[in-house]
Structure 1
Amino acid sequence: MAHATRGAGTTGAARRGRVPHGKGLIAGHVAAWTYALLLLVPLYYLVVSSLKDNQRVLTDPFGLPTQWLTDNFVRAWELAALGPALGSSALITLGAEAISLLLAFPAAYGLARSGGRTAAVVEKVFALGFLIPAFAALVPTVLLAVELGMFQTRAFLVLFLPATSLPLSVILLTQFLRTIPAELEESALMDGAGRLTVLLRVYLPLSVPGVVTVAILNFLGFWNEYLFSLVILGPDPDLRTVQVALPSLTSAVMVQYGILSAACLITLAPVYVVYTALQRRMEAALVEGAVKS
């Protein structure tokens, strides 16, 4: 009887313990789906607007188009010269991305495996980069580009943009590399591996999720950069990026919102493709690490 009573008490406690968990799970699902809908509403508005004329966009903003004006995408491509703009953005973004990772990863490795006050001071120096607003560095950057003879060149942006991303990249990668056991490095060094081999063969495979996270953040920042691209590259259609090309579709007389929405979707497509590909790689690395552990 006592055993049955204890069993019933245990079952009742277990049930009582599951009730808050179930309510929390439902609340979490509701919050997640609500947030997803809040993100989908602007995207839905952008998609349906890209297939309408101005009258339908203004009178029925969230309604489906009565006529599917796919010609808006063709006109947006031609009017904003999106072909050269996409190529320019891709060249600058990929070049700056490569330089950022090549500089940030070794720097993060050095900080993660260094101790003492010097490493702490260097890390704080990197953190100071968050305090410098972009517009404050605009004039010195333009003067530097002119002095180097690289004004109105994509090469200057490829070399300059990594400097804007290094503070965040180094700090994030440093914190991630500190989670990797130092015993792995010591074992590799005892086996005769050099520092470069340890960096590439030990730390890089284990830090793929962190590297991919930094790569995604940098890609979004470089692709969406507007201020320096506008000032450094100027209005030349052969040099300007997509973010500079999009405002060319606006007019002081009348804005064709359907064409502008179509152009925005075209510029968002590469971001979606890159984000999806890198996100899957990051998830695969996380699952693989969890299985191995």
Structure 2
Amino acid sequence: MTAPAVARRRRSRPRTTPLMGLAHVVVWLYAAALVLPLYFLLVSSLKNNTEIFSAGFALPPEWRFDNYLKAWSFTSLGDALLNSAYVTIGAEILIVIVSIPAAYGIARSDGWLGKLVERSLALGFLIPGFAALVPTVFLAIGLGLYRTREFLVLYYVAGAIPLSVILLAQYMRAIPKELEEAATVEGANRFQILVRIYGPLVMPALATVLLLNFINIWNEYIVALVIAGSTIDTRTVQVALPTLVTNQLSQYGVLAAGTIITLVPVYLCYLLLKKRMENALISGALKG
């Protein structure tokens, strides 16, 4: 190998600096902080109380898969999963129907009204959920929707609109106006432009919005407990899960198994949407 070739090879070889080494250590520590609790939860779901407290991180000496059957039957977890799916999917559909036209109007508004609406939506982040809990209960009672899943859907939609609209509006602003102008020349109306042009282009940002809202709605507990209650017909999975803990006896292996069951839909949603969400993050970085 000639001297110039050796020099080029040395120049192309990446240099390892102390800062890069520290960054790798931090990344691995962060990964361990995420994986270890999940591993502990998984192995605990296959143990009894004695095995959990004596050797928490060890593999179970006996694989107790019946813990999952107990968690499913003790709390009627199937009904709770259906209630959570009904509330979450219903809220997601309404969020998409409302957020996309609202974001389009804000993104293409050059006047003061669009800015005022966007800033008003941003004020929604300043209102804590607990502050609105009592008025929300009174509103549900006044509408005759107290102890119903339908009011939960409306509540979650109202809470998710500010973030959803602002994220989608920021993404829509990056779409060239020339595409809309060309479609208008071809005779397309506003609805056709929104569905055929903006719809496919905002799919990565929409996937991010759907995933964030899915996690927030699926895991919400306080409002679901207060509004829908703890009856089997209306309670969500997060309200049903704590009923596995009793004053007389708590089977933590069964509780861990129930927790694993409730996590499965979240991971499935992430697997379905992660590719588009990653595309949104990459395109946002490139535009920035």
TM-score computed with the length of structure 2 as normaliser? 0.90
What is the CA distance between 1:11 and its match in structure 2? Answer: 4.2
Does residue 142 (structure 1) correspond to residue 137 (structure 2)? The answer is: yes
Q: 1:73 aligns with which of 68, 71, 74?
A: 68
1:157 is the counterpart of 2:152: yes
Cα offset, 1:39, TM superposition: 0.9
2:250 alignment counterpart: 255
Q: Which residue of 2 aligns with 1:184?
A: 179
Give runs of aligned pairs for residues 1-293 of structure 1, distance below 5 A: 11=7, 15=10, 18-20=13-15, 29-283=24-278
Shift of 1:228: 1.1
Q: Provide, for residues 18-42 of structure 1, a one-character-per-residue CA deviation record: whole Å limited to 9, x for no partner.
A: 5447777665554433322221101
Q: Which residue of 2 aligns with 1:291?
A: none
Amino acid at match of 1:192: G
Shift of 1:282: 4.2
Q: Structure 1 stretches of 5 or more lacking a match?
A: 289-293
Change (3 A) 1:261 1:167: same
1:283 Cα deviation after fit: 4.9
Deviations 1:146-205 (A, max 9, x none): 111111111111122100011111111111111111111111111110011110110111
The separation in 2 between residues aligned to 1:189 and 1:35, in whole angstroms, is 50
TM-score under structure 1 length normalisation: 0.89
Per the alignment, do residues 282 and 64 of structure 1 end up closer, same or farther by CA in structure 2, a change over 3 Å counting?
same
Write the distance in 2 (CA, Å) between the matches of 1:56 and 1:181. Answer: 61
One-letter amino acid matched to 1:225: E
Q: Distance in 1 between matches of 2:169 and 2:30?
A: 31
Distance 1:230 1:180 in 2: 42
Q: Which residue identity lines up with residue 92 of structure 1 in the other structure? A: V
Aligned length, in residue pairs: 283
Q: Which amino acid aligns with 2:62?
A: Q
The Cα shift of 1:275 comes to 1.0
Matched AA of 1:145: A
Give the partner amino acid of 2:58. Answer: G
Cα distance in 2 for residues equivalent to 1:215 and 1:161: 13
> How far apart are the structure 1 equivalents of 2:279 and 2:116?
35
Distance 1:167 1:89 in 2: 22
**Structure 2, gaps ≥5 residues long:** 284-288
Instruction: Kindly report the root-mean-square deviation, in angstroms, between the aligned alpha carbons of the 2 structures.
Output: 2.6
